[in-house]
Structure 1
Amino acid sequence: MDQHARRHGARAAGSHGTVETEHGATADTGARPPERTSRLAALAERVPPTVSLPIIAALAFGCFTIFRTHAAGIKGGQAVLYGLAAAVVTGVLGVLVVHYGQNMVTETRALSYGALFGCSVGWNYSLGGESILKSVGFGLGLGAVMFVTCLYLFRTHRVREPHGEHRERHGEHRERRLPVPTH
């Protein structure tokens, strides 16, 4: 097949594999028949990730709460009610943190993610029958880990931050403050 024709997307007209424009070889326009999408895929296109990801995380946390309370001895409907309540509360708080977190300073945003995660995990840890002091310590520890992780992620992915970079680039402050030598 001719390299030039292959590069520009022409298709062969005959069975011998060469491209002959006088026999009707045409360029591939890229138009494909529309694919059928499922209802779930159509819903995923309409719901932004700032809403869907906190809800998915809340549902996972609710399932973990059901598991934790069931392992602690609470059976049946009561464990499901704990899980449902945990999913609703963390889902609403998660959506609020994501929504309002876009307007926060990086440290405050990381602190809000860490506080939500630490409080949620500490409360869930207490459902297993652990002492209050141990649950608070566990929640504070994991909240601190989440704070450091979020702070690292937010600082290294500055392109996504709505308020831009916090520090000037290394060479820019020198160029503005020092006069150009004239000798």
Structure 2
Amino acid sequence: MDQHAHRHDARAARSHGTVDVEHGATANARSHDPQRAPRPAGRAGMADRVKHIPATVSLPIITALAFGCFTIFRTHTDGTKGGPAMLYGLAAFVVSGALGLVVAHFQSSMITETRALAYGTLFGCSIGWVYSLGGESILKSSAFGFTLGAVMFVVALYVFRTHRVREPHGKHRPHKPHRTHREHSLPVATH
């Protein structure tokens, strides 16, 4: 009961803007840590924050931005001008960025072939769709997207296989040895 009361008091103290460390609450580590310097403001602060963005977030966003610009360029070559071309580019940026973030987030839990297939599928579908915006037929766009998706699959598979040391699970995933029924039973009596 006493421990619950201490936690409740600590939460109440935090909700009212004061922190009572004696009752189990923890102070804000950033504001009271003497070794940690405050973050600089302005450009220096932004540069400091950019250094902490992981590659699994920054690379899909940068790639999606480039893909959105390519979509705008492709729709301009078809004759679409102004606002509709920008909307196509914005849609391409949002959708490819979201899917890229999902693939990058879950890539460490995928086996190598599945990860390469995910990147190849995302790339092939994206390029096939943009190719169709230029007025090409659906069959030709699908074949073009499938071909470039297959190329991306092979390239991604090659990169993932040759850089296995950098993978989260190393060269091989750790497997637990499977026990047979005999190993779980009592030991065999010796004579």
**Would you say same fold, with TM above 0.5?**
yes
Residue 43, structure 1, aligned to residue 49, structure 2: yes
Q: Which has the higher helix share?
A: 2
Write the mapping of 1:81-92 to structure 2, written as runs, cut at 5 A.
81-92=87-98
Larger radius of gyration: 1
CA distance in 1, matches of 2:47, 2:89: 27
Unaligned stretches of 5+ residues in structure 1 = 1-35, 168-183
Q: How many angstroms does 1:166 deviate by?
A: 3.6
Secondary structure (helix, strand or coil) at the match of 1:130 reads coil
Give, in angstroms, the shift of residue 163 of structure 1: 2.0
1:161 matched residue in structure 2: 167
Q: Of 138, 142, 152, which residue of structure 1 is paired with 2:144?
A: 138
Counterpart in the other structure of 1:55: 61
Alignment TM-score, normalising by the size of structure 2: 0.66
Percent identity among equivalent residues? Answer: 69
Go from structure 1 to structure 2 and tell me whether the alpha carbon gap of 1:128 and 1:39 turns closer, same or farther (over 3 Å shift): farther
Partner of 2:158: 152
Task: Look up the SS of the partner of 1:46 in the other structure.
Answer: coil
Structure 1 Cα separation of the partners of residues 86 and 154 of structure 2: 32
Equivalent residue for 1:101?
107
Q: Structure 1 stretches (4+) deviating beyond 6 angstroms?
A: none
Superposed CA deviations along residues 3-41 of structure 1, whole A, max 9, x for unmatched, are: xxxxxxxxxxxxxxxxxxxxxxxxxxxxxxxxx963442
CA RMSD in angstroms comes to: 1.8
- Name whichever of 128-137 and 158-167 sits farther off: 158-167
d(CA) in 2 for partners of 1:133, 1:43:
45
User: What does residue 119 of structure 1 align with?
Assistant: 125
Give the count of matched residue pairs: 133
TM-score by length of 1: 0.69
